[in-house]
Amino acid sequence: MGRALRVVLAVLSGLVLVVAAACGSGAPTSPGAGPGPSTTPAPPPVNVAVQPAANATDVAPRAPVGATTTDGTFTDVTLTASSGGPVAGTLSPDRKHWTPDGPLAYGTTYTWGGTATAPGGRTSPVTGSFSTMPPDRTVRATINPGDDREVGVAAPITIQFAAPVADKAAAERALHVRTSVPTEGSWAWLPDQDGGSRVHWRPKDYWRAGTQVDVRADLLGVALGGGEYGREDLTTSFRVGRSQIVRADVNSFRMVVIRDGQQVMDVPASYGLDSDPNRTTRSGIHVVTEKFDNKRMVSAQYGYDLIEHWAVRMSNNGEFIHANPASAGAQGSSNVTHGCVNLSTPDAITYYNSAIYGDPVEVTGSGVDLAPSDGDIYDWAIPWDQWQGMSAL
């Protein structure tokens, strides 16, 4: 081979090495290794928060419960009870919040379900579960008047608790009164002699005739203090009927009935013997609570055991408006009874047929006032300012 040809071959060999070096990355590689795959970070989950926290226990039925998403919207949300199926609830208009429509049940496990979706299409499930407190140490309550009753203008709303209520403010905050016409009124906690607690609501003045009244006692799950909780919610809806007021001036020896502003009765009567405080008909606003066509009346102190007729109870201390032929000679002229209002049989029947629960009986002129010891409903004997001060709020 000539010298010139050897020079050409050497130059070409160098060029090949240069080209090969230029094609490399300059970084050391393992034999046979190629370029790695391209990776994209996974999208973050849609933010979903539930309340109470997952696996919470002993949750009160009225504790805050809900599901919320801040960077998406709910496609659907469910809260299912271990017994009883799905819980009714409401999704907010922007579909970011879901809350149940009412309180939960005692002693139940609840499980979340559903899906939250972000604007880009990302989704996350709604998950978790919690359980409510077991149904022990609950307090039963009753409400009066009952549904669909027609009552007189002095009828109070009464709620009786079967056990003492330590946190009366908490209980009272759960009580709601709605009236068809504006009506000023207040709750008041009254002494209870049956081992429980009781609270009454009355208007400042007599109800207006025809008023529709709706009451809610949202007591289920309310902490009443001392480890006690309300057992259940209560509701009632009743109507105030015509206005009928008895005016009973014991010194007039007559009983007057005013209905819707018009006098409809003015009849002879005999009231309690005022010289004996135990027999005096108490002064103050009484309230009709029940009536009997035949009523046994017994007094060991005064030695009688009688069946009286057409008896309308106006207090729990034994005061009735009733027929009594035995006192006919005194009716209209003197007071001889043991505290009742005695009428003739025809007058007693007429009044009996007109009286309803809640009618006021305004007794005046006697030497003894109506007092708490005289029965459950002495509400109108308490001045309005004092009554308001008996509220827990």
Q: Are residues 150 and 109 in the same domain?
A: no
Residue 40: band (very low, low, confident or very high) from pLDDT cuts 50, 70, 90: low
Q: Are residues 323 and 196 in the same domain?
A: no
- Cβ neighbour number for residue 88 with a 10 Å cutoff: 9
20 assigned to some structural domain: no
The residue from 109, 131, 153 where one domain ends is 131
Q: Are residues 323 and 209 in the same domain?
A: no
Least confident range from 15-19, 35-39, 41-45, 269-273: namely 15-19
Domains identified in the chain, total number: 3
The bridge status of strand 212-217 relative to strand 175-179 is antiparallel
Q: Are residues 232 and 270 in the same domain?
A: no
111 assigned to some structural domain: yes
Q: Would residue 322 show up in a list of annotated catalytic residues for this protein?
A: yes
pLDDT averaged over the chain? 90
pLDDT of residue 38: 56
294-326 pLDDT, tens digit per residue, is 999 999 999 999 999 999 999 999 999 999 999
The bridge status of strand 141-144 relative to strand 185-190 is unpaired
Q: Would residue 340 show up in a list of annotated catalytic residues for this protein?
A: yes
337-363 pLDDT, tens digit per residue, is 999 999 999 999 999 999 999 999 999
The residue from 82, 107, 131 where one domain ends is 131
Q: Are residues 199 and 112 in the same domain?
A: no
The residue from 68, 103, 131 where one domain ends is 131
* Residue 217 exposure: Cα atoms within 13 Å on the Cβ side: 25
Q: Are residues 178 and 262 in the same domain?
A: no
CATH number of the domain bearing residue 90: 2.60.40.3780
Instruction: Decide if pLDDT at 32 tops 60.
Output: no
Q: Are 272 and 250 in contact (CB under 8 A)?
A: yes
Please state the length of the chain.
393
High-pLDDT (> 90) share of the chain, %: 82
CATH number of the domain bearing residue 231: 2.60.40.3710
Which domain covers residue 60, as residue numbers?
48-131
pLDDT of residue 39: 67
Q: Which of 200, 286, 322, 338 does the annotation list as catalytic?
A: 322
12 assigned to some structural domain: no
7 assigned to some structural domain: no
Q: Which of 200, 286, 338, 340 does the annotation list as catalytic?
A: 340
The identity of residue 116, as a single letter, is A
Q: How big is the CA angle at 325 (ends 322 and 330), to the nearest 5 degrees?
A: 90
Buried b (16+ CB within 10 A) or exposed e, 261-275: eeeebebbbbbbbbe
CATH number of the domain bearing residue 346: 2.40.440.10
